[in-house]
Structure 1
Amino acid sequence: MCFDRTFAPGRVVEFARRLEAGGADQLWIIEDCFYTAGVSLTATALAVTERLKVGIGILPAVARNPAITAMEIATLCGLAPGRVLPGIGHGVQSWMRQMGVRPASPLTALEEVLTAVNRLLAGEEVTVDGRYVKLDRVKLDQPPADPPPLLAGVQGPKSLALAGRAAGGIVLAEPTSPSYVRAALAQAAAPDDFQVTVFSFLGIAEDRRTAYRRMAPWLATKITEQTPGLTVLPFFGELVELFAKDGVDGLVGMPPEWWMELGPVGTHEDALTHIAALEEAGVHSIGLFPPPDVDVASAALEDVLRIANR
């Protein structure tokens, strides 16, 4: 399950404990500027659990010095060996501009950061004079004994190709269809041990129509944004035409097969079908996004646990 950026920090204890007790494998912490911070929430979730893996989605590459990023990840690994899933991405460029750290080349910046952090976590002494990363004989005192793969939170073709050569896996933002996963893996030219995590917006109801009506406004926003997870769909052109003609009501009435490709939306059985298709496409981890209201999300946690224990 994903812990939304707007949730009060103290609720992470409840979510982590309930997920672990209920048999779920992972909790994903969402870090976006300028909401709650990923590292501190991850440390808290790890401290109150014994088995649960906790992912960070996603640390902006240039918001922290890569030496500090490596220190934070190594410290988390020392607190909970084998339970940390760190993600690093470009960060939203408007937010990077607000902080005065927006790079002229986000691709170069991300590749330099991923490379440096990987080397530091591997225990190397790193000296580098890059365009964005400059380190002079930096070496971690306590690198992790078994460094976790760094996951690149990226979307576009060039960024996915970068992830394939510089990261240990990817995190794909919602909506994530099996079609999108296959396209992303092809663009990354991923090696066999490449780890794939996806985020999916969870929309389960007793009947499909209710679920579709709840999710249609969200889908309308994604269509307007032309997100990569949609543009690769074989029916994307028809989807755009339907939305242009009939608006949100048209999305509610679109074929169930389209909804099932887009996400775990519909009945519980529909959600299971979607997740099985993601796994068949090569996905290793799935972070389910609940509704943004924390109390509604707390109730939806039971749906997550039903899926986790399928």
Structure 2
Amino acid sequence: MVKLGLMGGGWHGEDMSSVIELGQAVEDLGFDTFWMGEGRLTGSAVPAMALTLHHTSRLKVGSGVLPYRTRNVGILAGTFKTLDEMAPGRAIMGLGAWWEPLATRVGLPNRKPLKAMREVITVSKKLLAGETVTYDGEFVNVQDIRFDSPWDDEGRVYDVPVYTGPVRFKMVELSGEIADGVLLDFLVPTTYTREACEHLKIGADRSGRSLDDFGVSQLIICSVDDDDPRQAIDDCKFFLTQYIGQQPHITEFSGADPEIIEKVKSIVGWPTTEAKIREAMQFVPDELVHSVAACGTTAQAVEKIEEYVDAGVKEAVLTPRGNELETARRIAKHVELEV
């Protein structure tokens, strides 16, 4: 049986009703987790996470992912302390490096990401474990801090697993060494997933730990339309084209031909427009789309998801394009999730 999560989104401004309704719907469908990203300057994932936790009863809600250097480590850990108080055992702290050129443009260049991630995870986990922490690092410097709510006097522990959103394999290894799970990125073929799982084991062996309880989740771009599979494929092609044009850290693992990458980048740029992305789509072949996305008919999408599971994924996190709820509903029904 396939374990499913969903990457949420699609809410606008003050209207949060859509994210609440989507969270409730996927919980009713039997999904295990609901993830919310915070990659561009579109807003914060935390309010939507809190609302979803408040309006659901079983669903786990994770940040997929928060840029790890955009919050002081005490505030970062305190945010997830609060979410765990709201919904014990259901919040997941997902952390990742911010992508360039945006990170540099806001004054947080993605410098020494392995060192920065190690420091943030180490201190966050100690705080969530109820410890008093002193840490003298390059990116994290704290002196004798702990959570200081009245109920924290006895070192209360907060059940918040820490996941990373790694792409390159050194970060994957670090995750296997010190994190509780990974949320592998989308738009990569299953050959990448298999190799990533090998690097997780390298990291786990480094710290002498087992991966039996380690979370291996992967974002999977998907779109389903049994009446018009071509539309579903184009939904995913649009998304892939944008990422080829803007995010080289993902593109390098996508399997895209360098000539295609250069053509797309020359048109898309950043910031971009829908018209530019659609113009560049002509250079992205269907074969590439099918290698990195679960799209077309429901049966085709599920077959692709199963390929990721066979490669080592424990939870397929659907990232729907087009009609996201209908795609989620069709795939959930096809794999017969237990509610």
TM range (shorter): 0.7 to 0.9
Q: Report the CA distance between 1:44 and its aligned residue.
A: 0.7
Query: 2:313 — aligned with what?
Result: 283
Q: Report the CA distance between 1:221 and its aligned residue.
A: 3.8
Distance 1:223 1:40, change over 3 A: closer
Q: Report the CA distance between 1:68 and its aligned residue.
A: 1.1
- Hey, what's the Cα distance between the residues in 1 that align with 2:156 and 2:180? 16
1:217 maps to amino acid: F
The SS at the match of 1:179 is helix
Stretches of structure 1 that go unaligned for 5 or more consecutive residues are: none
Distance 1:307 1:111, change over 3 A: farther
1:67 maps to amino acid: G
Q: Report the CA distance between 1:298 and its aligned residue.
A: 4.4
Give the conservation status (yes or no) of the 8 Å contact 1:176–1:198. no
Deviations 1:97-153 (A, max 9, x none): 344333642322121101111111122211011111111111224476463321111
2:330 maps to amino acid: D
- Hey, what's the Cα distance between the residues in 1 that align with 2:105 and 2:10? 18
Range moving further from structure 2, 3-12 or 199-208: 3-12
The SS at the match of 1:37 is coil
Q: Which of 12, 36, 57 is matched with 2:64 structurally?
A: 57
Deviations 1:61-97 (A, max 9, x none): 1111111111111221122122112101112243333
RMSD: 3.0
Query: 2:224 — aligned with what?
Result: 204
- Hey, what's the Cα distance between the residues in 2 that align with 1:158 and 1:137? 31
1:137 maps to amino acid: D
- Percent identity, aligned pairs only, is 26
The SS at the match of 1:202 is strand
1:212 maps to amino acid: I
Q: Report the CA distance between 1:201 and its aligned residue.
A: 1.3
Q: Does 1:4 align with 2:9?
A: yes
Stretches of structure 2 that go unaligned for 5 or more consecutive residues are: 1-5, 205-210, 265-279
Query: 2:303 — aligned with what?
Result: 273
TM-score, scaled to structure 2: 0.77
TM-score, scaled to structure 1: 0.83
Range moving further from structure 2, 217-226 or 5-14: 217-226
Distance 1:99 1:250, change over 3 A: closer
Give the conservation status (yes or no) of the 8 Å contact 2:225–2:298. yes
1:24 maps to amino acid: F
Aligned length: 300
Deviations 1:265-291 (A, max 9, x none): 121111111222222222122222223
1:107 maps to amino acid: L
- Hey, what's the Cα distance between the residues in 1 that align with 2:295 and 2:178? 33
Q: Does 1:30 align with 2:42?
A: no
Q: Which of 186, 195, 200 is matched with 2:198 structurally?
A: 186
Q: Does 1:19 align with 2:39?
A: no
1:302 maps to amino acid: R
- Hey, what's the Cα distance between the residues in 1 that align with 2:63 and 2:156? 17
1:3 maps to amino acid: G
1:279 maps to amino acid: V
Query: 1:132 — aligned with what?
Result: 139
- Hey, what's the Cα distance between the residues in 2 that align with 1:100 and 1:228? 19
Deviations 1:170-211 (A, max 9, x none): 112211432121111223325313311211111112154443
Q: Which of 195, 209, 218 is matched with 2:239 structurally?
A: 218
Distance 1:240 1:82, change over 3 A: same
The SS at the match of 1:87 is strand
Distance 1:267 1:122, change over 3 A: same
Q: Report the CA distance between 1:222 and its aligned residue.
A: 4.1
Distance 1:220 1:59, change over 3 A: closer
Q: Does 1:306 align with 2:326?
A: no
- Hey, what's the Cα distance between the residues in 2 that align with 1:23 and 1:157? 32
Distance 1:260 1:104, change over 3 A: closer
Give the conservation status (yes or no) of the 8 Å contact 1:62–1:102. no
User: 5 Å matches for 1:79-228?
Assistant: 79-102=86-109, 104-141=111-148, 142=152, 145=157, 147-188=159-200, 189-191=202-204, 192=211, 193-206=213-226, 208-224=229-245
Distance 1:145 1:129, change over 3 A: closer
Give the conservation status (yes or no) of the 8 Å contact 2:240–2:289. no
